[in-house]
Amino acid sequence: MEFVAQPFQIRAIRREDIRQVLEVERDAFPTLWPPTSFKKEMQNRLARYLVAVRPRTLMTEGVSDSGETGGPDPLTSDPAPPYGAWRRWLESLRRLLPSMSGSQSREFLLGYLGLWKVVDDSHIISVGVRTPHRRLGVGESLVIRAIETSLEWRIRFITLEVRVSNLAAQALYEKYGFKKMGVRKRYYRDNNEDALIMTTDPIATEEFQREFQHLKGVHAEKLARHLVLDIPVTS
Catalytic residues: 161, 173
Give the C-alpha separation, 8 to 221, whole Å: 14
Query: What residues are paired with 198 via a beta bridge?
Result: 160, 180
Q: Burial letters for 153-189: b for 16+ Cβ neighbours within 10 Å, e otherwise?
A: eebbbbbbbbeeeeeebbebbeebbbeeeeeeeebbe
Q: Is 76 within 8 Å of 229 (Cβ atoms)?
A: yes
Pairing mode, if any, of strands 193-200 and 121-129?
unpaired
CA distances from 206 to 102, 121, 153, 235 (A): 43, 18, 17, 26
**Cβ-contact 127, 141 below 8 angstroms:** no
Omega of the bond leading into 34 within 30 degrees of 0 (cis)? yes
Give me the phi and psi of 177, to 5 degrees please: 90, 5
| Separation CA 158–CA 151 (nearest Å) | 10
